[in-house]
Amino acid sequence: MAEIKQVGVLGAGLMGHGIAQVAAEAGYEVVLREVDDATLAKGVGKIEKQLARAVEKGRASQEDADAVRGRIAGTTDYKDLAGCDLVIEAITESLPLKLEMWAEVDAIAGPEAVFATNTSSLAVIDQAASTSRPAQFVGLHYFNPAQVMKLVEVVRCVTTSDEAFETALGFARSENKLAIPTKDKAGFIVNRLLVPYMLDAMRAYEEGVGSVAEIDEATLAKGLAKIEKQLGRAVEKGKSSQEDADAVRGRISGTTDYGDLADCDLVIEAITESLPLKLEMWKQVDAIVQPEAVFATNTSSLAVIDQAASTSRPGRFVGLHYFNPAQVMKLVEVVRAVTTTDEAFETALQFARSEGKLAIPTTDKAGFIVNRLLVPYMLDAMRAYEEGVGSVAEIDEAMKAGAGHPMGPLTLADFVGLDTLGSICDVLFDEFRERRFARPPTLRKMLSAGWFGRKSGLGFYDYSGEEPRENPAF
């Protein structure tokens, strides 16, 4: 692994000034190059402003801030890059401009220097092949703002040598970054998943999606025990008094008899995600419950109208889609079917709000809002794994650090349940007939093996120990 003492940064704009600051904060001497004095001064001014803010907020001393600033030398002359051990480009995302720039730098920089591109979308090999050192060329993809975002994707193209790749990894880690290795495939890891996710949000908007009793005593007892356990934990952690917990438990009556639902004003179903089973259940309930009652389904994927139309009260039928765990998750999607009356819809909205939930109205389209966006995102993560973009853990860590998500997409798939995910994507595929909604081969094989994620103990991760670990099969 080559030793790096001096770092050249090409471009002092949105990304370049941040990359320069991070390198200087890690103790490297930095040469920051721009096309003219005015643009350079603007970039350096941003660095000085960031350092001053760090001092003001107590995150750095004035002495340390001055030392960081002192390690950054600005220039408009490529020749000042001659002594750099690593040169990182962060100019406009235009391949012709980057190639023109590399032609200049390649003729000046020492033959041992490693070159890196901060591109977020262009193939690294297209830049590497234009230089005299394709083996010493890598991708170092920082995220905006570079001073804050933890992730750096370290991209190996087909020509990158082991030494250059290890040098780049070591450099990113020396900056206290989460350095995730990945391959030179379009979008790398984060943009490979995040861009389709955002595009799906736009399509969902265009489609008008937005402006979610037990069968036997044993199952009932198990469910009530879970409630009691949650209430006990709330008391233990000081989130609730014993008196309040007892009052909550006292308001819950268990039954295995549909007849006990007769006087309910609102009935919410949350049984297995099977339309035939739901229709059979509603047939029983519809004959018993008072005609003024509102019916709601907690389905996460099935059309609300298919259940509403099977009852004698399609006008008083809505979707109330809660998220798991319902005690914690704030959102409830309130779904209006084509038959739902204004009165029934307002009743459902107000009910969800009375629970302290964020009640978001949506229309009865496959996946509603969240699953319409989230399921393709998780499926794209599986395809990215299949394409060799990164390992299971690398994909998860990249999305957490690069996109600010609290949970990676493959961990999330395990948490949702791979069987549930498979059912939802089947509904979405039937509705839209697009590849991005189809089950990837990895998901099909995992379901055949009985790997359903956290609930079964094995999914993309193995949950048999104290801490989840990557499934050895991957």
Closest CA to 4 of 136, 159, 180, 148: 136
Closest CA to 380 of 315, 436, 324, 464: 436
Count of beta carbons in the 10 Å neighbourhood of residue 37: 11
CA angle 354, 355, 357 (to 5 degrees): 100
Say how far apart CA 366 and CA 306 lie, in whole Å: 12
User: Encoding tokens for residue 362?
Assistant: 């949506």
Count of beta carbons in the 10 Å neighbourhood of residue 251: 6
CB 121 within 8 A of CB 98: no
User: Encoding tokens for residue 419?
Assistant: 């069987």
For 74, 190, 252, 347, 418, the CA distances from 446, given in Å and listed in that order, are 54, 24, 38, 41, 8
φ, ψ of residue 406 to 5 degrees: the values are -70, -20
Coil, strand or helix at 344: helix
User: Encoding tokens for residue 132?
Assistant: 């005299």
Closest CA to 335 of 326, 325, 345: 345
CB 308 within 8 A of CB 314: yes
User: Encoding tokens for residue 315?
Assistant: 């006008």
Say how far apart CA 420 and CA 410 lie, in whole Å: 14
CB 423 within 8 A of CB 469: no
In the residue annotation, 17 being an active-site residue is answered as no
Catalytic residues: 321
